[in-house]
Amino acid sequence: MALKVCKFGGTSMADGHTMIKVKNIVESDPDRRYVVVSAPGKRFSGDTKVTDLLYKCHAELTEHGDCKLAFADVRRRFEGIVKELNLDFDMASVLDDTERRMEEERSEDFTASRGEYLAAVVMARLLGAKFIDAEDVVFFDENGAFDDKKSYAAIATAAEGAERVVVPGFYGSRAGGGVKTFSRGGSDISGAIVARAAGATVYENWTDVSGFLACDPRIVDSPRRIKTLSYKELRELSYMGANVLHSESIFPVRRANIPIVIKNTFRPEDEGTSILPIAQYKPGGSIVTGIAGKKNFTVIFIEKSHMNSEVGFIRKVLSVLERFGVSVEHIPSGIDTMSVVLDSSALDNFKLEQILECIKAEVEPDFMRVSENIALIATVGHGMSSSVGTSARLFKALAEEGVNVKMIDQGSSELNIIVGVKDEDMEKCIAAIYREFFGNN
């Protein structure tokens, strides 16, 4: 028998009206037995997500010892939802308990996690399903890493015998006690964890777009939908900014070969996108699968004659970064040149200056240059390795836009080409690459 785990994102959970859509989707298919929810997101542009309201609560708590003011907005959202849904239960006392526990715990992660907790309490009521608190079934180990075996076993046990269950996304329990959240957008990971634990036949990720699109719909108007995507392509695109699905969501499902399907809560009849373990590229098909971009990187370019023959050169540069606890995103290199690409949010000016001094002392380069505010754009597709001239087409498209490409890295997997451009050029470059490979439709 098929078993579906469905995760509903913030827009799907935004208010009572959208929650009814969720209920209809879940109840239209008896296989949809596990439901994972996000906190209510934006109801309209300019609205604030509940999770962001909760981070404000934490700031108020830290400053004043309570969060009455900021929590009043959260209270209003949930009381409004329960009223709209005509649910007969005492939401006010659930909210009182939540506020009290937030004041006791004083933990940012605990406070931020309450949007998912409250949303799941409401959704379980609406569906008449069993509520399973993620705090009791999703665990992190002493190093803060997700504890897969312990969590999968606990989820399976908690769901035993229940016809349908609802689990809040985004958080679990720390080894020493207390709540810990995943990074932002992490309910997608929770959905994948539950799918793995349940032995699901499919992990349905319900959002506000009809699938994974060939690029961000906020950059190109109505980009083409990607029908199928491999796990690898998904990882590349989501890591590089296509945040429709969190880049870590594939890990729990990959080992068990569980496909992910992206669906639109507001157009449930649309086909969506299937994410499958293996590539579906057929000769003659689309060369490029998708394009994604992310801003705010720093590139350190290093030049030294005979770098290539100097044993340990790259290691010495990388060990400096390791000493400063900075992880490296990419290392494009030539015969006498190398660059290291770093996420700027991990660097403050002081640290960067120290890093540069240490690299100078360590490898005595002939020349070194730093470029800040660099955006990386990944053009991804299994079809790229077997098609001659793909990079030529890409660079021609960028040249025609008059864009200065600061860095190039053709991934060793031959699955992607990454270019670095100025932050402010990112959108026009993505649009130009899109036009080159997909035309104007």
Which residues are near Mg ion by CB under 5 A? Answer: 9, 185
Q: Which one of 6, 10, 114, 406 is in contact with ligand ASP (CB under 6 A)?
A: 10
Is 416 near ligand ADP (CB under 6 A)?
Answer: no
Integer Cα distance of 271 and 40 in angstroms: 24
- 261 φ/ψ sector (left φ>0, alpha ψ -120 to 50, else beta): beta
Is 38 near ligand ASP (CB under 6 A)?
Answer: yes
Q: Which of residues 50-89 bind ligand ASP (CB under 6 A)?
A: 51
In the complex, least distance from residue 188 CB atom to Mg ion, rounded to whole angstroms: 6
Interacting residues of 197 by C-beta distance below 8 A, sequence separation 6+? 151, 152, 153, 155, 156, 159
> Residue 187 or 339: which CB sits closer to ligand ADP?
187
Using CB distances below 5 to 8 A depending on partner kind, what does residue 272 bind out of ligand ADP, ligand ASP, Mg ion, none?
none
Among the candidate windows 7-15, 51-59, 384-392, 394-402, which touches ligand ADP by CB under 6 A?
Answer: 7-15
- Give the residue from 32, 37, 35, 23 showing the smallest Cα distance to 3: 32
Integer Cα distance of 196 and 254 in angstroms: 9
User: How would you classify the pairing of strands 130-131 and 165-168?
Assistant: parallel
Question: 139 by DSSP, 3-state: which?
Answer: strand
Is 185 near ligand ADP (CB under 6 A)?
Answer: yes
In the complex, least distance from residue 299 CB atom to ligand ADP, rounded to whole angstroms: 24
> Residue 38 or 230: which CB sits closer to ligand ASP?
38
Q: Which one of 4, 32, 33, 49 is in contact with ligand ASP (CB under 6 A)?
A: 49
Asked if residues 50 and 57 have their Cβ atoms less than 8 Å apart, the reply is no
* Helix (H) or strand (E) run with residue 358 in it: helix 349-363
Is 172 near ligand ADP (CB under 6 A)?
Answer: no
> Residue 233 or 248: which CB sits closer to Mg ion?
248
CB-side neighbour CA atoms (13 Å) of 239: 17
**Judged by CB under 6 A, how many residues of this single chain contact ligand ADP?**
18
In the complex, least distance from residue 404 CB atom to ligand ADP, rounded to whole angstroms: 25
In the complex, least distance from residue 221 CB atom to ligand ADP, rounded to whole angstroms: 12
Asked if residues 384 and 390 have their Cβ atoms less than 8 Å apart, the reply is yes
Integer Cα distance of 367 and 301 in angstroms: 8
DSSP code, position 2: -
> Residue 10 or 168: which CB sits closer to ligand ADP?
10
Q: Which of residues 33-52 bind ligand ADP (CB under 6 A)?
A: 38, 41
Integer Cα distance of 124 and 28 in angstroms: 16
Integer Cα distance of 409 and 335 in angstroms: 14
- Structure token digits, residue 155: 């989820």
> Residue 192 or 384: which CB sits closer to ligand ASP?
192
> Residue 38 or 238: which CB sits closer to ligand ASP?
38
Q: Centre a 10 Å sphere on the Cβ of residue 41 and count the other Cβ atoms it contains.
A: 23
Asked if residues 98 and 117 have their Cβ atoms less than 8 Å apart, the reply is yes
One character per residue 275-314, x = contact with ligand ADP (rule: CB under 6 A): ----------------------------------------
- Give the residue from 297, 332, 233 showing the smallest Cα distance to 426: 297
- Give the residue from 226, 199, 197 showing the smallest Cα distance to 210: 226
Q: Which of residues 141-170 bind ligand ASP (CB under 6 A)?
A: 169-170
For residue 358, what are the CA distances in angstroms to 318, 323, 372? 11, 10, 19
Q: What residue is closest to Mg ion based on CB?
A: 185
> Residue 245 or 326: which CB sits closer to ligand ASP?
245
Using CB distances below 5 to 8 A depending on partner kind, what does residue 130 bind out of Mg ion, ligand ASP, ligand ADP, none?
none
In the complex, least distance from residue 62 CB atom to ligand ADP, rounded to whole angstroms: 27
- Give the residue from 118, 143, 144, 145 showing the smallest Cα distance to 57: 118
Q: Which of residues 185-224 bind ligand ASP (CB under 6 A)?
A: 185-188
Among the candidate windows 74-82, 181-189, 251-259, 427-435, which touches ligand ASP by CB under 6 A?
Answer: 181-189
Which positions touch ligand ADP (CB under 6 A)?
A: 9-11, 38, 41, 185, 207-209, 212-213, 215-218, 242-244
Which positions touch ligand ASP (CB under 6 A)?
A: 10, 38-39, 49, 51, 115, 169-170, 184-188
